[in-house]
Amino acid sequence: MRVADFHFELPDSLIARYPLAERRASRLLVLDGPSGQLAHRQFGDLLTYLRPGDLMVFNDTRVIPARLFGQKASGGRLEVLVERVLDSHRVLAHVRSSKSPKPGSTILLDGGGEAQMLARHDALFELRFAEEVLPLLERIGHMPLPPYIDRPDESADRERYQTVYAARAGAVAAPTAGLHFDQAMLAAIAEKGIETAFVTLHVGAGTFQPVRVERIEDHHMHSEWLEVGQAVVDAVAACRARGGRVIAVGTTSVRSLESAARDGVLKAFSGDTDIFIYPGRPLHVVDALVTNFHLPESTLLMLVSAFAGYPETMAAYKSAVAEGYRFFSYGDAMFVTRNPAPRGPEETV
């Protein structure tokens, strides 16, 4: 299977660089996986596609202000993007500078603060901060907007590049399907008799890395930390027993649930995952998906294709471009029902 099979042309004008004034003002493209039929709706209309007894699974990770600017004590500007918080003072981070800092060297941070470079682990640098990491980031850090939102972060991004139910700090990218939900929408979901559950997957910067191989099967996913608690396992079992559907809010929720069910049985799990879901890989838990529109040739587009079928997904994206939907993190959304017999590119004539 070729990565190039997942290419599509996207006008730059369709990349959403700012959120809409209201979270649920976005549009919603509904894709019925089994039939391939499309419907163009508003995000608030999602309620009409949900049924009493369904279970919606959200990712409650919280985005940290993970981007820092500063300079080496020896001179030379640099940028730090925290990838993972290791403990109260240490992180793994990407460091961009003309010359990489050496072990033992000091980084002076804009806004006050400093860090020591302890060691390099492949592309990541282990840094130790002089003060506790999370309070430091809240004080001087910048929201780590994705590279395609090619503007500096603004104060409004602290709230809007964050779900209203974000609880557990650790992500450096938002689980963007959740950005459309406000408190009123969550209340309406509960009122309709739809259950909710929360997993945690701390989204890493690797989610934006391009696939650099020609064949999908040769790609190795970056690792991210997740937790699926026993309460989620029990909620899924109860949903199945009452005949409801498991609806994942975001590809990160899909990856969390499917990571915890790799052997076909959903079990509580906490740890790293590098699961890569693409056409031909089995799915064990999720029946429907709320998701944003993803980058051409991205692993997330491949996941949606595994879920709905390759020809159905690519046709939906072609329609979204033609209809002027807004793409990526601050863009519009899809509601996708699972195709029980999804075809991949090699099966498409």
For the stretch 216-250, pLDDT in tens is 999 988 889 999 999 999 999 999 999 999 999 99
Residue among 209, 231, 232, 233 at smallest CA distance from 221: 209
Q: 248 forms bridges with which residues in the sheet? A: 57, 289
Could you tell me how far CA 259 lies from the centroid of its own chain? 15
Structure tokens at 209: 């890395």
Residue among 196, 317, 207, 303 at smallest CA distance from 259: 303
CB-CB contact of 119 with 93 (8 Å): no
Could you tell me how far CA 195 lies from the centroid of its own chain? 22
DSSP 21-61: SSGGGSEEEEEETTT--EEEEEGGGHHHH--TT-EEEEE-E
Q: 58 forms bridges with which residues in the sheet? A: 198
Which segments of 37-194 are extended strands (E)? Answer: 38-42, 55-59, 61-63, 67-72, 77-85, 90-97, 106-109, 114-121, 124-129, 168-171
User: Residue 74's pLDDT is what?
Assistant: 85
User: Residue 184's pLDDT is what?
Assistant: 97
Read off the DSSP letter of residue 340: S
- How many residues are present in the chain? 349
User: Residue 348's pLDDT is what?
Assistant: 57
CB-CB contact of 180 with 106 (8 Å): no
Q: Walk along the chain (349 residues) in steps of 10 and give the mean pLDDT of each run.
A: 95 98 97 96 98 98 97 93 95 94 95 96 94 97 95 97 97 97 98 98 83 90 94 98 98 98 96 95 96 96 97 98 98 97 80
* pLDDT digits 0-9 by tens, 106-159: 999 999 999 999 999 988 999 999 999 999 999 999 999 999 999 999 999 999
User: Residue 337's pLDDT is what?
Assistant: 98
* CA pair distance 333, 288, nearest whole angstrom: 13
